[in-house]
Structure 1
Amino acid sequence: MEEQVSLTAVGWARSLPTSSGVKAARDWTREHLRSLHWYTTAPDVVDAVLLTVSELVTNAHVHAGDDAQLILTWDHECLHVTVHDPDPDLPEPREPSDSALGGRGLMLVDAVADDWQVRPCSKGKDVIACFQPPAAHSAR
């Protein structure tokens, strides 16, 4: 007989109209990371999460031209940062030119997140990045 394991998770969600700006997304995320006590236990991970939130919300606002939904889910192993937008076109990393102001967002996410992926859904797409704090510093 297989043992069933119960998963405990906590999550937060917020709608981000294009008028709210990316700062609102970072500030909201920062408050939830404080509740996980990561500022003292995993400050580098906090910086990586905030950078990722900035990039993903900016991409949703610029490329989808619409509101975005930001969802944070902590399952005691990974903080999943999900940004949903209604545009069905999936993002693809690209080689930015030296003179381009943009085009580096997904490269940054790839560099700082433990993992990331894009999932199409019936009303747009989700871009999800996973962050694992160092094992010795996991939030309880």
Structure 2
Amino acid sequence: MLLSPTPRGARLARLLATEWLRTWDLPHSSLEVAAHLVAELASNAAIHGRVTGRGFRLVLLADAGTLRIEVTDTRGDDLPHRRPPAPDAESGRGLVLVEALADRWGAEPGPVPRKTVWAELDLSPNPGKPNFGAPVAPHQEPRGEKEPDQAPPLPPAAAAHSHG
């Protein structure tokens, strides 16, 4: 789904993702972690990936017990790098949180001028849920804006960060 690169668009991304993920009956802890990841990635897109007149794209996918969250913006020239924030800084902890919460995360340049920042959570599949493995949100395209190209389904292993 395409959202405006504003704080309001980032909040809307979290709210919509949370509602869609609730339909999957995820454990509360997984739902909360996913909501935090969406909030951080969307906020980063709104703050650091903002280009006037161009939205960011949120995609949620689940497959084989993994929830993948992708946020694509139009600042492909600015790949994120986790930097330790100053102890007295009031911001700058977004990617530190993403790294702590996600099982894997990374960033990849997309077709110019885009980039996709993604995070993955390992889940236990719920075989009784018909939606498991399908995209979470339907396609929605605001008038006058072209949808970004689909990000590659899986990043190269060298670009992945993981912990565990």
TM-score, length basis structure 1: 0.81
Cα distance in 1 for partners of 2:85, 2:114 equals 25
Return 5+ residue gaps in structure 2 as ranges.
Answer: 128-164
Q: Name whichever structure is richer in strand by fraction.
A: 1
Is the 1:110–1:116 contact (alpha carbons within 8 Å) kept by the matching residues of 2? yes
Letter in 1 for 2:25: H
1:95 corresponds to: 84
For structure 1, which runs of at least 5 residues remain unmatched after alignment? 1-13
Query: Does residue 139 in structure 1 map to residue 139 in structure 2?
Result: no
> What are the within-5 Å matches in structure 2 for residues 51-62 of structure 1?
51-62=36-47
More helix by share: 1
What is the TM-score of this pair, normalised by structure 2? 0.70
Q: Aligned-residue CA RMSD in angstroms?
A: 1.3
Match status 1:45 vs 2:20: no
SS at match of 1:23: helix
Give 3-state SS (helix, strand or coil) of 2:126's partner.
coil
Could you list the per-position Cα deviations for residues 62-89 of structure 1 after superposition, in whole angstroms to 9, with x for gaps in the alignment?
A: 0122321000011132111000001011
Structure 1 residue ranges (4+ consecutive) displaced by more than 6 angstroms after TM superposition: none
Identity across matched positions, percent = 32
Are residues 1:124 and 2:111 paired?
A: no
Out of 25, 33, 39, the position equivalent to 2:13 is 25
Once the two structures are superposed, what CA deviation does each residue of 1:85-129 show, in whole Å capped at 9, x if it has no partner?
A: 010110000010112111110110110111111111113100111
Which residue in 2 is equivalent to 1:104?
Answer: 93
State the aligned residue count: 121
